[in-house]
C-alpha cells in the first residue's frame, strides 16, 4: 500500500511538473521608470515615483518577451494621461534599450492604469499594463529642485569669488 501511494504521488508530481513545462507560458518582464521633463532631473537621470498634477514626464519602458528585448512597444490605452510627444528609443551600450513616451499627468489625484501593446520580432503581440499614482505635490521633486538651485548658486558664487580674487 505504501509503495502504491509513493508511486501515485510521484506520478502526480511528474504530471504537474510536465504541465508547467509543456504549457509554454510566455514570460513578460517590464521595467518602468519616470523622469520629469526638467533639465535637473533628466540630465542627471533622477527618476521619480509619482508625477504631480498636470506634470509633463517621460515614461521609460523596457520590455522583454521570453528574455528577448522588445522595441516595438506602443501605448494601447493611456488612461487619464495625455500623450504629448512622439515615441523615442533610448540607447544603452550602442543598443536600443527602451521606448520613451512623453506624457502629461491628469489634474486629479489618483492611481491610473496605462495599457501597452508590444510586438516581438516573430510578430507575436502581447499586452501589459502599469499603474501610476498622481499626487498633488511630491516632496522628493521639491527637494531635488531646491538642491539643484542651491548648487548652482554656490558654484556661481565661488566662480565669481575666484575671478574677483584672480587679479590680486
> Domain extents for the chain?
27-154
Question: For the chain, how many residues are written?
Answer: 168
Is the pTM higher than 0.75? The answer reads no
For the stretch 79-106, pLDDT in tens is 899 999 888 888 888 888 889 999 998 9
Q: Which residues of 68-104 are buried (b: 16+ CB within 10 A; e: fewer)?
A: eebbebebeebbbbeeeeeeeeeeeeeeebbbbbbbb
Task: Identify the pLDDT of residue 81.
Answer: 93
3-state secondary structure at position 137? coil
Beta bridge pairs of residue 130: 114
Least confident of 29-38, 42-51, 75-84, 122-131: 42-51
User: For residues 101 and 51, is the Cβ–Cβ distance under 8 A?
Assistant: no
DSSP string computed for 139-167 = HHHHHHHHHHHHHHHHHHHHHHHHHHHHT
Q: Is the predicted pLDDT of residue 23 greater than 60, yes or no?
A: no
**Mean pLDDT over each residue of the chain, to the nearest integer:** 81
Q: Considering the domain 27-154 in this protein, what is its CATH number?
A: 2.60.40.10
For the stretch 129-160, pLDDT in tens is 999 988 877 767 767 777 778 888 999 989 98
C-alpha cell at 151: 548648487
Average pLDDT over residues 21-34: 73
Q: Is the predicted pLDDT of residue 168 greater than 70, yes or no?
A: no
User: For residues 101 and 58, is the Cβ–Cβ distance under 8 A?
Assistant: yes
Q: Is the predicted pLDDT of residue 24 greater than 60, yes or no?
A: no
Amino acid at each position: 500500500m505504501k509503495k502504491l501511494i509513493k508511486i501515485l504521488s510521484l506520478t502526480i508530481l511528474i504530471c504537474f511538473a510536465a504541465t508547467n513545462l509543456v504549457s509554454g507560458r510566455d514570460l513578460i518582464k517590464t521595467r518602468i521608470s519616470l523622469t520629469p521633463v526638467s533639465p535637473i532631473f533628466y540630465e542627471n537621470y533622477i527618476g521619480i515615483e509619482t508625477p504631480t498634477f498636470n506634470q509633463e514626464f517621460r515614461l521609460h519602458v523596457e520590455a522583454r518577451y521570453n528574455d528577448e528585448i522588445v522595441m516595438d512597444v506602443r501605448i494601447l490605452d493611456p488612461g487619464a494621461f495625455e500623450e504629448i510627444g512622439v515615441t523615442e528609443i533610448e540607447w544603452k551600450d550602442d543598443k536600443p534599450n527602451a521606448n520613451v513616451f512623453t506624457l502629461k499627468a491628469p489634474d486629479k489625484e489618483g492611481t491610473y492604469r496605462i495599457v501597452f501593446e508590444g510586438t516581438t520580432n516573430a510578430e507575436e503581440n502581447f499586452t501589459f499594463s502599469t499603474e501610476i499614482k498622481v499626487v498633488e505635490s511630491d516632496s522628493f521633486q521639491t527637494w531635488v529642485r531646491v538642491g539643484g538651485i542651491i548648487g548652482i548658486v554656490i558654484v556661481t558664487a565661488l566662480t565669481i569669488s575666484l575671478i574677483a580674487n584672480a587679479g590680486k
